[in-house]
Amino acid sequence: MDQKGEHYNSLFPILSYFSGSPLHTAAMMGNTIMMRTLLEGGMFWVDEEDSKGRTALHYSVQQNSTELTSLLLSKGANVDAVDYNGSSAAHFACKEGMIDAVNLLAYYKADLCAVDKNGKTPFDLACEYGRAKVSQLN
């Protein structure tokens, strides 16, 4: 086996440790190289949900990784996927004031007016959490 294959096989147990798929773990770790390897291998569904209903896109936004978020979206990730609370990646980005992420999600046509289970839009969360620069994008 070549070194690349050995490296991948040695990381797989680590990537499977957390709730969800190795894609989720790569996103939680902000590891773009591993994410690209996993997606190009074709073994994982880009929109697979973890135990909270979150996709790798949710976690890439939480890591504030526009590179990882862009990669997932370019590979067909559902920009409007919601978790069990009805929160999309846009909800997370606005709540945390991540302007670059909000702009990237908007470029991919994210529904910035979608409401979560508490009836709040991403921009409602930006206002609630004092993210003035994000709330001004509305």
Cα 3 to Cα 74: distance, rounded to the nearest angstrom: 28
What is the pLDDT at residue 2?
43
From 74, 73, 75, 66, select the one nearest 103 (Cα to Cα). Answer: 66
Number of domains in the chain: 1
> What's the pLDDT band for 18 if we cut at 50, 70, 90?
low
Specify the CATH number for the domain of residue 99: 1.25.40.20
pLDDT in tens, 93-128: 999 999 999 999 999 999 999 999 999 999 999 999
pLDDT in tens, 48-78: 999 999 999 999 999 999 999 999 999 999 9
Reading phi first (left if > 0) and then psi (alpha if -120 to 50, else beta), residue 100 is in alpha
- The residue range of the domain holding 56 is 3-135
Per the confidence metrics, is the pTM higher than 0.75? yes
